[in-house]
Every structure is written in C-alpha cells, then in structure tokens.
Amino acid sequence: MGTLLSPLVFSPSTSSATPSSSVSYLGKTRTPASRRKFQHRIHCRLESFLDLKPESKSEFLDVDLPLHDTADRSKYDVIIIGSGPAGLRLAESISIYGIRVCCIDPSPLSMWPNNYGVWVDEFQSLGLESCIDKSWPMAAVYIDDNKTRYLDRPYGRVSRERLKKKLMEGCVSHGAKFHKAKAWEIVHKEFEAMVSCDDGSEIKGSLIVDASGFASTFIEYDKPRKYGYQIAHGILAEVEEHPFDLDKMVLMDWRDSHLGNEPYLREGNKKLPTFLYAMPFNSNLVFLEETSLVSRPALSYKEIKQRMVARLRNLGIRVKRVIEDEKCLIPMGGPLPRIPQSVMGIGGTAGLVHPSTGYMVARTMALAPILASVIAECLGSTRMIRGNQLHHRVWNGLWTLDRKCTREYYSFGMETLLKLDLKGTRRFFDAFFDLDPYYWQGFLSSKLSLRELAVLSLSLFGRASNPSRLDILTKCPLPLAKMVGKLALETV
C-alpha cells in the first residue's frame, strides 16, 4: 500500500500541530536543504508509534482477600508462590478439596500485565468461556503477498480481569489465604518446608509449589537450559483506521512488502523472520504485536520494533494513542526441571509452555486441576503421603511419561522452526495449515498422542512442496536424531 503518514498527528504533545505549525519548528534562518533534512528527521520521528507513551495505569481487582495471619504459626498443606494464571488456577483447584492453601505474591490483586489469546474451544471445554471478552469466528494466516489461509477455528482474547477474578473468588470461597510479600528463600526439612519472605515472615507448609513465572530461582535443573525465545512487542492502540476484517483475528502475517525500502531490515527478516499478530476489536481499536516466533539467541527487541514501525506504516495504520504496550519474552523448549525435586512447579516454572508456539494459558488451566487431584490424594486426611514420596508423586503426576514424550516432539518442532528462514517458514505454515484440522488444532493445543504426532509428521511431509521436503531432509536429521535419543531415554 505504501501509505505515507502525515508527520504531525502522533505524539500527544504534538497532536495539536498543524502543517503550518511544523514550519515554526524550523526557524527562519534555515536553508531550504537543511530545512528539508530537518523536516525529514521530524517526519521520521513523529511517524512512529514508539514516540507515544502508553496510557495504562496499574489496575487492581476488587476482591476482599482473606489474608494470612502472621501470628499464626500453624502449617499449611500447600504454599503457592505467585498468583499469576498458573498459581491461582492451582490454588483454586486444590482448595476445592478442603486442603489448606496459602498464596504468596507481592501484589495479589494487581491486574496481570500480559494480553492472553486462546482458541475458544480450549476455554469452552474447561467451562471458562465466560472469561473470554472478545472472540473472532476465524483466524487469518498471511503466508505471503499472494496467499492467505483462513482458519475455521474461533479465537478469543482472555479477559484478564474476569479470569483472575473468577479464580480468586474460587480460592476465597474455598478458604485459601493470601500473603502480600515476595518469597525469598525456601528451607526444607524431611516432611515440611518453610518459606521466608521479604517482609520477614516465615510460613510453613507440607508442599511448596513455585508458580512465580519464567524468572523463578526456586526450581532446579540438571541440564543446561538451552531455550529458544519468543520475543515480541505489542500495543493495544487507538488507530485512525486499519485494514483488517473485524470477524477475523490475524494469527500470523508473514508478508514482507513493508520492508521494500529497508534493505537492512529486509535482509534480517529473510533470515530471522517476524510476523504480525493482530486482534481487531473495532475499526479504531486493535491489538498489534510484531513477533519472532522463536529465535536463539533472542532477536533484538530494537529490531522487532523497527520492523513493526515499517509494517504499520505500510499497512496505513496511524496510531493515535497507545493504550497499553507489552514486551513479550517467553523461553521455549529446553530441558524440564529435575524430576522430582522438593519444590513443585506449575506454569512457566514447570516447562508447561508449548515449545513450538509459546502458548501456555489454556494448557495450564487444564493441567492444574489434574495436579490438584494428585496433591489431594497425597495430602488428603487418610493418605498422609509426605516428603520425598510426595514430591515424586506430584512431579510424575504432572509430567507423565506420555506428556514428557509429546513435549520432546514439540521441542523437535521448535528446533525445526529455528532452522527455517522466511521462505522455509512460509512453506512450513502453508503445509501445516493444509493438514486435517484435527491434527493442526491438536498440535497447537498440545492434545495429540505420540502416535498422532507421527501421523501428523508423515502427512506434513506428504503435503509439503519439494523445497519444503528438502528443508526437512537437510535441516531436520539432527534435531530428529536428538528427539529419538531423548524418547528412547525417557521410555527405558
């Protein structure tokens, strides 16, 4: 489209400027050439949405939280560190069994910062559809400038407020307690552990679960943590207009025509491609995110933002206000934590993120109740399973052999994606979304068995174009051999 934007409409500080007021920036003594250069600089600077300050302020949930009494020295059954989606879902699911739970988080009522997207059927099957605030009947994947695939699978944006409130109210109604602090240290004894917090408090529990997210320091690994990284820059923006259909969200836009005049960015994008993810809420409100699906090391954040500026300019998207922004950095793949260990993990700390997509929320909502039932079985009044036996049961209850094996396959998917350039990535997704929907949907939702994943691979190979087959044959043998080796190790 190549739409050029007016240089004078972006930053709130300049929003009242008119074309004639731009001249007043220049001063009367400048020569026409230097004026043009200066105007060009202003033009470039003002064109970018990066100049706009995000307007969002801290928001808090209105829930009456039952707080932990620091004078009370009695022991909880379970202490959960972190009240993100994973921690709260687990706390809600465990407390239903009448098990005594305490959640530690420095700000349990703060709104979660991330924008979460899920496939609507994933939330429907969990009875969480009321926590989706906007859904699109279809998703679009722009393979390139000439080909778009439309996916007949509704996609939704999670209402952070509704989901958090629902989980929190579930916790409260089943007696879970909250403690506003940062967990600092965990000290283990044979059948219990104590969490020390930054406010000086110490809380005892039979089982400690770490749900503090990807940056956790409480979970141990016995292998090098060689992650791939999803990195993205996202904005919820008020725009003058945008070109997207309101009944489709854009899952991936791999077009690169916006980089035509940006030789440096274009070359970089050919090797390490990024795509646009977009959720159009109405004709003026849209969530836009330039995303590197996976890279190792992570692609530079600055480059992602530069590519996004070029893309929005080319799409004719003039940003009037940045309502929120988010920096997304998700470690993907890598080894699972040591299994078992004294601290249990859930969510980002437990390897639950999908190694090929970076998605995790729906899966964690589904797995936390399963983990809760294992915990309840161990800690329930008649069983009294504690210490090493408890740790062994809970870790293996979350990471069953089947789940570990399918995760190896998804990690193989990530290793394959890491090797593909823009052309290879386009060919891959063209073939992937041509699969029987049962397979591509099951792959994205981590629902396929190892046998079904093998069928998917053969079918993908059968549908792939010849260059794509060549990609698979030349680039996949090593990751494939590694995966087979790991599967063999898991199953002996």
Does 81 bind ligand FAD (CB under 6 A)? Our answer is yes
In 3D space, the residue among 9, 18, 114, 3 whose CA is nearest the CA of residue 51 turns out to be: 9
Burial of 40 (0-12, 13-18, 19+ CB in 10 A): exposed
Contact 411, 227 (CB under 8 A): no
Tokens in use for 403?
């789940």
| Binding track over 143-182 against ligand FAD, x by CB under 6 A | ---------------------------------------x
Residue 155 beta carbon to ligand FAD: minimum distance, rounded to whole angstroms: 10
In 3D space, the residue among 326, 377, 368, 373 whose CA is nearest the CA of residue 349 turns out to be: 368
Does 343 bind ligand FAD (CB under 6 A)? Our answer is no
How far, CA to CA in Å, does 56 sit from each of 184, 279, 321, 326, 335?
29, 18, 11, 11, 36
Which amino acid would we find at residue 348? G
How far, CA to CA in Å, does 129 sit from each of 125, 167, 361?
8, 13, 13
Contact 142, 252 (CB under 8 A): yes
Residue 51 beta carbon to ligand FAD: minimum distance, rounded to whole angstroms: 22
Residue 243 beta carbon to ligand FAD: minimum distance, rounded to whole angstroms: 22
Identity of the residue, 172 or 259, whose beta carbon is nearer to ligand FAD in the bound complex: 172
Answer for which of 211, 251, 276, 315 binds ligand FAD (CB under 6 A) is: 211
Answer for which of 265, 330, 435, 464 binds ligand FAD (CB under 6 A) is: 330
Binding part of the chain for ligand FAD, among 71-79, 104-112, 130-138, 437-445 by CB under 6 A, reads 104-112
Identity of the residue, 17 or 171, whose beta carbon is nearer to ligand FAD in the bound complex: 171
Answer for which of 348, 355, 413, 424 binds ligand FAD (CB under 6 A) is: 348
In 3D space, the residue among 201, 202, 143 whose CA is nearest the CA of residue 430 turns out to be: 143
Answer for which of 48, 79, 80, 84 binds ligand FAD (CB under 6 A) is: 84
Binding part of the chain for ligand FAD, among 22-30, 82-90, 246-254, 449-457 by CB under 6 A, reads 82-90
Distance from C-alpha of 329 to C-alpha of 347, rounded to nearest angstrom: 15
Residue 181 beta carbon to ligand FAD: minimum distance, rounded to whole angstroms: 7
Identity of the residue, 82 or 355, whose beta carbon is nearer to ligand FAD in the bound complex: 82
Which amino acid would we find at residue 443? F
Helix axes 19-26, 32-47, angle to 10 degrees: 120
Size of the site for ligand FAD (CB under 6 A): 29
Answer for which of 7, 10, 47, 85 binds ligand FAD (CB under 6 A) is: 85
Residue with tokens 């969200």: 249
Tokens in use for 406?
């399918």
Cα angle, residue 331 at apex, residues 328 and 336 outer, rounded to 5°? 150
Does 135 bind ligand FAD (CB under 6 A)? Our answer is no
Does 87 bind ligand FAD (CB under 6 A)? Our answer is yes
| Binding track over 392-431 against ligand FAD, x by CB under 6 A | ----------------------------------------
Q: Regarding beta strands 202-210 and 76-81, do their DSSP bridges make them parallel or antiparallel, or are they unpaired?
A: parallel
Identity of the residue, 90 or 315, whose beta carbon is nearer to ligand FAD in the bound complex: 90
Answer for which of 86, 143, 317, 375 binds ligand FAD (CB under 6 A) is: 86
Distance from C-alpha of 282 to C-alpha of 291, rounded to nearest angstrom: 22
Positions touching ligand FAD (CB under 6 A) are 81-87, 104-106, 114, 116-117, 182-183, 211-213, 326, 328, 330, 347-348, 353, 358-362
